[in-house]
Amino acid sequence: MGKKLNIVQILPLLITFLLVGNHAKITMSPAPQPQPPNNTLPMNGSTPGSLHPQDCLPKCTYRCSNTQYRKPCMFFCQKCCATCLCVPPGTYGNKQLCPCYNNWKTKRGGPKCP
């Protein structure tokens, strides 16, 4: 009689386990998504605060490499870099990547940073 009592007690647990086990869902991880292509522009130092002051000279040298107004470009680029600690990638544009550099204006409202 003791064995029948144990089977009677275990049977509802076994049935519950089987019912719950049938409702389990198997989920698979999503397939890896393709990565966007790398730009040819150097991105290091283009986010606010990502540069050290000693990194400003090489970044500004590259930034001002295609302008005919090299001295003023270098002066203002280094001033902006020292304050913002970032320089946008490339030789022109891309200022949206460095908001401090982009939003610094002259007294007349023009862009301060090249």
Residues 91-101: tens digit of each pLDDT: 988 999 999 88
- How close are the terminal C-alpha atoms of the chain, in Å? 93
pLDDT tens track for 38-69: 554 445 565 666 788 899 999 999 999 999 99
Phi, psi values for residue 60, rounded to 5°: -70, -35
List all residues 6 or more positions away from 5 whose beta carbon is below 8 Å from its beta carbon.
none
Percent of the chain's residues with pLDDT above 70 = 63
- CA dist., res. 19 & res. 42, Å (int): 58
